[in-house]
Structure 1
């Protein structure tokens, strides 16, 4: 294919939909061509409105987030767009396939539906059925349903569900923002009698939030539903069916109880066949009650939540207590679908958990979340059921009450999450690192369900701001998260109080939020990431007031000292040395973390102001940035390059946030590398330091230290959970202890993506694929063939097309291949090269000498310096094996307590910590290693 071909025309609709939420959606397109160095010189857009055709031209390279050049869309208008492009070589592509675009928003004042609810609930959060009937004349041209809920709902028209979405409309700050779905239901309507049926439950809207006895309902006691159906006839007339008093009736649901945390109970004996079809006898139903007043809903911009994948039972386990537990082989988020046969009244119970502890279902980490579903059979032969208004985080499920012989083929795990397009892939020869990356992907999938949550399983599942603040770059590579995070940022701005960002968004914990560094800084960091990774300047401009408000709030706290100090902070949360019950007690002082983030937010606001053309703000925040920098360096960094908190996270933030002057970076990086070695190349950082420590090391010339941290398998490390069988990222480095028991801390989760932020470094540095300009308009290709890795690759579907970098060791060389999408360029830095080269689009290949192998290890003994032992993985393994004495891992606490410094020898360090037998065993093990190496000893 040498001629250009325009593909992937995008108007910002959710995946699998043509519905847009704006009258002027921004447009993007990509061009495929084999022509090397292809750059777009112009593009032509054609819009078809019925029989009318409009065209518009774009000069130059712009093909991402191009402003809508036509007259605004009208509500319910359906148009078709196609694009063709011309390259700098003069060749013009054929027209793209037409892309349908449907206006999903309502006109101002058009929403006039009144909310309705259960007429007589017998308790809080009561699920309910709602229905109405209406008649249609012949000649229906189109029908559009706008629907929302304070809760979660599904609509059926004439007995058929209107879509396959799950738990819609999701969770937003309900008092200030509701989302409506816009659904084309033309094909479900009939001439004559029609019926609408609604299944409704409370979900997030009626859940109790808070910890221990502080849990309370925030939004209300009962769910409510509102909808407007607009039917358009061929002659231009309309019929509108809306919720409100009089025409709608309610009835208790066969779902007898439902909650996000508790689970769902369904009594099939209460099902009402035909209830959502016309002609159903609803004489026993009660007129629906008016619901609470709701804000006018707005059209969806975030992705739909759908059933994405199904997993079969991998193993049936009989636990020591005799329980039947199903293992699905993967920690996932969703629910179970069962097919069962039994007598009326038989009840199957499904209890979910992420891990087994000593062979039994490990439910303690769930805290107050019951995570249990019940299905009571109707006794009507084969019955298939899946909960509708709840979800669980689990790998294991305990099944009880199953009638008859159990067949694992009758149970399927249904994976649900926001349906975002997968855009990023990574592969490597290192099996454990490959599995680590897969765990990151599954962690994202499980926690991106309408909003970015901290965890999907316990009595929390909240939109913690700190988690997504550190993880946004990784997420932006792996999936197209633009619409997902764009929508969540709208909620973040809504929930700010005097500029202060709450810990969670939506905020259900504290009406008067407390500022916390790294958490509240999501207000500045996440919009900047979207601009950097997707070229999304529109969200940056929209969020700019929110960014400024947060930054002004923390500047006010800092005062004239320009330091954020002496206040509540999460700090370097979950530093592995922090006590399980006090996860904020990290090695790096919380004031250092807070003041570093003060700099980061001031810096990002200054850069955003400059980019958006706010000259006065750019000057002011630029000046404040330098004042914060100098205050930080004067307070926390000595002239020789030591920090007053001599711990890894402090050095990492000073380097990676750009606080340190260029002349200081080498000294800070050297100390960071030394501290990493002193810790035995095990993790010594928490939420703040972990996402950036590898970058801080590699950018200061210590990439091999970063490699040692990445590939360590001891506790704590990124790979320790992998060696323990993890299939997602854990909240704590040791959520599961080596003996198979769950961490004793009250707070632990086995599906928390934050510490998986290392994957972004794996993409950019290890594989070597990174953006060099906003939205990957230019790439940086800089692969790093690390010792112990035979190959690595990263692939990313950029807004311009697929970019890929792959390297592989071949004998004494490294073979490198790169794909640069059309209409982009790349800067290439090859291993061992001093200069960079600029290339255009196309497929490129290079062959370079492999990096020199490390020198062969020398003789090791009890007289060897500790640094030499820890830098020699074989020697360290021999030491650990000798100390374990047949109990693998038993020496880990002692080894972790040693500072692996060059000025002290091994024998001195372990003599007082070991028995004579152990001491002699170490000497013998090191001697044996020397003999295996052909060395004296």
Structure 2
């Protein structure tokens, strides 16, 4: 904990009137959100000030349903009055009941440390969508088609439906909103133009529990007179093929599925105050479209000869179209999509195209990523171009698709069931209509790839004829890092490509082979993700995904949404403990990084049920199997890791109970936590040696990371000896690698951490880069034809860049208090970067030059920091040229406490 003492820099002036200013107003973490469906949204803001040591002593909020009242400083739906509080986030709305489909305008005024008020902030707004299920008037509609009776027939052509509705708008439009959910995926159009820039919408959920809808502002798209709304559907996860994952699991056995369907409402408000609604019902018309097959894994096949000309405009001939059919649709509750939508975030041009064999071309895009290819082609009608995707090439230059085939379904190996392809390629195709230059990209699939094999092209494609469209959840960037080590800078960039390849509304393990939301991958990389991106709403969705999948007995699944995989689980289709851990762990990290208490409140009962289940499965407070430290080079400490994960679950339950003021529960879980700790020590600790279990790097790390060792120094020495035995290389897997850098940071052994991270040979990150990796691999070894070349789990290293090299660490929830403790190591001469917290930007920028260490620090208003400066006790410590009093010296650091502001420290 930080000391209450705040040292005042000499020469600081007292705050002047209006020195504290509210900025970046948010509602549910979003700036001016268009469609929210919570009746008690939470408001927040950042603060800025030119003065040091500024804090908020009070705030005042006004909320109005019209901008004129707000301009008159009147909150006609909520006026808090002056509230004495330093809170600036998660201020729960407590005004009049919100009305659906309404825009609310709000503003905030804050008071600084001396009570001087700011001006009112610039107005912000939030707009409600459906607040109750009864607010929906639309119906789920489909085209009336039925599923084939035989599984093998599901692999045949199945044209995706188009829907259209003509309507008249005879007045001046004041506003128009489209509320839509289409399953599996949809694209919406108004008068021939695509609505919005989302792709692969809506996000993947467990449809029997929850379905997401999006809201679009289409005011400028509605024209006076005749209009046409059009919708194109794809299968997505809602209408999967029946192939069996890894030859065992059929998604249909674990998820509600069905034929493509859509539910949508277009709300138009006119300038005269009247309104109009166009809803999906049986008056819509439908016809089959040009997408003849599509699947999330196997790709999309499009025949342009089957296009319906002008189908989404008033020019279309719809004589052969038929009426849509009302359908049951999914059972889940429709909720507003709050996580960032998936978008095309970058266009990538090929670095070269080679002709591997006559008529077979390989396009090298120079970068592994997730998305699709877009082609531009001219040729005769009926010409079929086939695209196959892969992450690597074989030695003969042909495409190696083996690391990305769906769930290892390969010829001569695992079989996918009746009708499934022998090898589950990532494959798209486009059949030309023969009308000049044609441009096309798949709509309802995505792939993981660097290389594209092109066959059937009329002539020879050039680098101008094909490009890659990188797609990912459009996460706002909130961190940056750079240092004097170019390999670390390259790794940081490679990690970002890896991370962005694996966020498609769920955080996946890989974007090609599996695409699923594995819990452990989130556990080990969550911190690294949160230092780089705003993950608040994304991880809130992930928590709900796991809650939606909670098993009847209380266990949490290995994957969410659940696909049936329960490797090394504990019955009732629950997952292994390290994968179950994602459910409570993400809640804890959301609280730590963003101060989000609500996510813990909402899921507390589910956590209790999970603990009850785990207690029923434990054997004398221990567990004996787990996937454990996946991809560890050393043998895995399976029972130790499983038991430590159990300990972690109960520890989090105890913390949540204390946070929520549930004293009886806190006592119960704390007691159980201690019982588990004692059993682990009894079972796995070798007294007098510091060794745990098999005493590998991972075994020692589990003991040290969880604070289980009664001989901490000895256990740390054993770990260091193991690292030395491996010549300062990792021998850990998914968990141990993330733990390693935490343990070395906490024990001020960043010298060792640097040597491990900086290795250029196997095993290590440098070895991957040396072999041409542009994203991180699933395994330390060259994956060959099995393991993914685009896997985020070893991206946990990026957390070390922020927490150890920059030294930015949360010391209180939401970074209300910060520890800035850069740990220079090796031959590093500088590092700089920042983290945009919910309270504002935190910056750390240091360099070693001419025998002195200089650290530039920026702490946002209303936060405090403990700054650790690497210095001996006889060193000169100054700030902006003036000597300062050091609060204390500890472990080779001079420690000072500061308030908000910008500082320049120099150590000589």
Aligned to 1:717: 764
Q: Residues 763 and 784 of structure 1: is their aligned pair in 2 closer, same or farther, counting only changes over 3 Å?
A: same
Aligned to 1:867: none
Alignment of 1:513-552 (within 5 A): 513-552=573-612
TM-score normalised to structure 2 length: 0.87
Contact 1:531 1:537 in 2 (8 A): yes
Alignment equivalent of 2:128, drawn from 82, 87, 103: 103
Q: What do residues 340-397 of structure 1 show as CA deviations (whole Å, max 9, x unaligned)?
A: 2222222222221112231322111123442122112222112211111111111111
User: CA separation in 2, counterparts of 1:177 and 1:29?
Assistant: 30
Q: Which runs of 5+ in 2 are unaligned?
A: 1-14, 407-423, 567-571, 872-888
Alignment equivalent of 2:773, drawn from 704, 723, 726: 726
- Is 2:343 aligned against 1:306? yes
User: CA separation in 2, counterparts of 1:380 and 1:215?
Assistant: 44
Q: Residues 514 and 79 of structure 1: is their aligned pair in 2 closer, same or farther, counting only changes over 3 Å?
A: closer
- Is 2:800 aligned against 1:775? no
Contact 1:791 1:808 in 2 (8 A): yes
Q: CA deviation at 1:592?
A: 0.2
Aligned to 1:129: 162
Q: CA deviation at 1:619?
A: 0.8
Aligned to 1:153: 186
Contact 1:82 1:95 in 2 (8 A): yes
SS in 1 for 2:57: strand
| Comparing 105-114 and 374-383, the one that deviates more | 105-114
Alignment of 1:114-263 (within 5 A): 114-120=139-145, 124=154, 126-138=159-171, 140-208=173-241, 210-214=244-248, 216-218=250-252, 219-220=256-257, 222-233=259-270, 237-245=274-282, 247-263=283-299
Aligned to 1:576: 633
- Is 2:394 aligned against 1:361? no
Contact 1:15 1:421 in 2 (8 A): no
SS in 1 for 2:866: strand
User: CA separation in 2, counterparts of 1:142 and 1:443?
Assistant: 40
User: CA separation in 1, counterparts of 2:94 and 2:609?
Assistant: 33
Contact 1:224 1:292 in 2 (8 A): no
- Is 2:640 aligned against 1:592? yes
Q: Residues 13 and 808 of structure 1: is their aligned pair in 2 closer, same or farther, counting only changes over 3 Å?
A: closer
SS in 2 for 1:650: helix
- Is 2:906 aligned against 1:847? yes
Q: Which runs of 5+ in 1 are unaligned?
A: 578-586, 737-741, 850-937
Q: CA deviation at 1:666?
A: 0.9
Aligned to 1:917: none
Q: What do residues 144-173 of structure 1 show as CA deviations (whole Å, max 9, x unaligned)?
A: 322112200011122222211111112100
Q: Residues 305 and 201 of structure 1: is their aligned pair in 2 closer, same or farther, counting only changes over 3 Å?
A: same
Alignment equivalent of 1:685, drawn from 732, 743, 753: 732
User: CA separation in 1, counterparts of 2:824 and 2:278?
Assistant: 64
Alignment equivalent of 1:699, drawn from 746, 749, 755: 746
Q: CA deviation at 1:14?
A: 5.1
Q: CA deviation at 1:789?
A: 1.4
Root-mean-square deviation (CA), in Å? 2.2
SS in 1 for 2:779: coil
Q: What do residues 445-464 of structure 1 show as CA deviations (whole Å, max 9, x unaligned)?
A: 11111111111012x21111
Alignment equivalent of 2:302, drawn from 261, 266, 285: 266
Q: CA deviation at 1:700?
A: 3.0
Alignment of 1:325-344 (within 5 A): 325-344=362-381
> Larger relative CO (CA 8 A, sep 6+): 1 or 2?
2
Contact 2:359 2:456 in 1 (8 A): no
Contact 1:681 1:708 in 2 (8 A): yes
- Is 2:845 aligned against 1:806? yes
SS in 1 for 2:450: strand
Q: CA deviation at 1:87?
A: 1.3
Q: CA deviation at 1:825?
A: 0.5
Q: Residues 639 and 216 of structure 1: is their aligned pair in 2 closer, same or farther, counting only changes over 3 Å?
A: closer
Q: What do residues 51-71 of structure 1 show as CA deviations (whole Å, max 9, x unaligned)?
A: 443132332211111112432
Q: CA deviation at 1:423?
A: 0.6
Q: What do residues 662-686 of structure 1 show as CA deviations (whole Å, max 9, x unaligned)?
A: xx21111111111111112221111
Q: CA deviation at 1:142?
A: 3.5
Aligned to 2:895: 836
Q: CA deviation at 1:844?
A: 1.2
Aligned to 2:697: 648
SS in 2 for 1:728: coil
Alignment equivalent of 1:486, drawn from 540, 543, 547: 540
User: CA separation in 2, counterparts of 1:143 and 1:766?
Assistant: 49
Q: CA deviation at 1:238?
A: 4.3
Aligned to 2:491: 436
TM-score normalised to structure 1 length: 0.85
Q: Residues 607 and 95 of structure 1: is their aligned pair in 2 closer, same or farther, counting only changes over 3 Å?
A: same
Aligned to 2:3: none
Aligned to 2:528: 474
User: CA separation in 2, counterparts of 1:391 and 1:145?
Assistant: 25
Aligned to 1:922: none
Contact 1:21 1:301 in 2 (8 A): no
Q: CA deviation at 1:233?
A: 4.6
- Is 2:468 aligned against 1:413? yes
SS in 1 for 2:301: strand
SS in 2 for 1:822: coil
Q: CA deviation at 1:606?
A: 0.5
User: CA separation in 2, counterparts of 1:138 and 1:620?
Assistant: 65
Aligned to 2:104: 79
| Comparing 218-227 and 419-428, the one that deviates more | 218-227
Q: What do residues 755-804 of structure 1 show as CA deviations (whole Å, max 9, x unaligned)?
A: 11121122111221111111111110111110121212231001111101
Alignment equivalent of 1:626, drawn from 650, 674, 685: 674
User: CA separation in 2, counterparts of 1:191 and 1:173?
Assistant: 40
Q: Which runs of 4+ in 1 moved over 6 A?
A: none
Aligned to 2:449: 394
Contact 2:142 2:259 in 1 (8 A): yes
User: CA separation in 2, counterparts of 1:108 and 1:19?
Assistant: 15
Aligned to 2:720: 673
User: CA separation in 1, counterparts of 2:817 and 2:545?
Assistant: 31
Aligned to 2:652: 604
SS in 2 for 1:227: strand
- Is 2:768 aligned against 1:708? no
